[in-house]
Amino acid sequence: MRRKLAAGNWKMNGTTDSLGVVAELADTHPDPSVDVLICPPATLLARAAGHGAIAVGGQDCHAATSGAHTGDISADMLKDAGATYVITGHSERRTDHGETDAEIAAKSQAAYEAGLIAVICIGETLDEREGGTTLTVIDTQLAGSIPETATAANTVIAYEPVWAIGTGKVPTTGQIAEVHAHIRSRLSERFVDGDGMRILYGGSVKASNAAEIFAVPEVDGALVGGASLKAADFSPIISALENA
């Protein structure tokens, strides 16, 4: 049985005041029946940690454990700050920083070695969707971004269609079902415990569409951007997942 996961990615949003969101979520969900994760900016990570049942994670890590990499953060440092998860390969990292599948696999491997769970992100662009190559793109990203050492315990896959991120556009439940089923079959073929790896959907998830998305087979939770920035928006998404 896969334990569901409601994950919030704050991206480059949040200052000290935002810590109240984590405290409020911890108060509202003292004993959730699903895992709840907030990935704040690195500046808030240590202070966001330790709030009840709310796990915290990084949004990226370097593949090396330490060294001359100005501005970068290692997986060990995230762990030291209280993180239990780290997002790797988010489409904004792939686009803004030119991250390749091989780099994402190396970062995910670094996460495992630090004892973190990697939330490895994949997803097609609008051009790829319209060109009919979605599943081919997904296959390439799955093959290249997930280390051989991945297990159900150290890896979560997040399917985030790039065209659905921050746009208010959401794939149909049929489109989500097709890609999630495809990812599940690839994970099961490649990993002995691939059936146990959680697969999240991400892209314009909000309280009003969460229940419908969570009812799709093989959707084990969500990676939420904008709607995770306020407790009033994220809390009903957590509740929807608990009730799914």
Active-site residue numbers?
Answer: 90, 160
**Angle in degrees, 0-180, between the axes of helices 134-145 and 101-114, rounded to the nearest 10:** 40
Q: Is the four-CA dihedral 77, 39, 178, 169 of positive or negative sign?
A: negative
Applying CB under 6 A, the span of 18-26, 133-141, 181-189, 217-225 interacting with ligand 13P comes to 217-225
Tokens of 173: 């439940």
Backbone φ, ψ for residue 75 (5° rounding): -60, -35
Mask of contacts with ligand 13P, 167-206, x by CB under 6 A? -----------------------------------xxxx-
Tokens of 141: 């990203």
- Asked whether 214 and 176 are in contact (CB, 8 A), the reply is no
Closest approach of ligand 13P to the CB of residue 152, in Å = 21
217 binds ligand 13P (CB under 6 A): no
Element (H, E) at 130: helix 126-130
For residue 101, how far is the Cα from the chain centroid?
16
- How far is Cα 103 from Cα 100, in angstroms, rounded to an integer? 5
40 binds ligand 13P (CB under 6 A): no
What residues between 135 and 164 interact with ligand 13P by CB under 6 A?
160
Applying CB under 6 A, the span of 70-78, 135-143, 146-154, 219-227 interacting with ligand 13P comes to 219-227
Pick between residue 86 and residue 227 the one whose CB is nearest to ligand 13P. 227
41 closest CA partner among 96, 98, 94, 83: 83
Residue nearest ligand 13P, Cβ-based: 225
Closest approach of ligand 13P to the CB of residue 68, in Å = 29
Closest approach of ligand 13P to the CB of residue 173, in Å = 17
Using the structure block, give the residue that is written with the tokens 């998305």. Answer: 213
Applying CB under 6 A, the span of 41-49, 101-109, 125-133, 224-232 interacting with ligand 13P comes to 224-232
- How far is Cα 209 from Cα 202, in angstroms, rounded to an integer? 12
Closest approach of ligand 13P to the CB of residue 170, in Å = 9
Total residues in contact with ligand 13P, by rule CB under 6 A = 14
Contact residues: ligand 13P, CB under 6 A: 9, 90, 160, 165-166, 202-205, 223-227
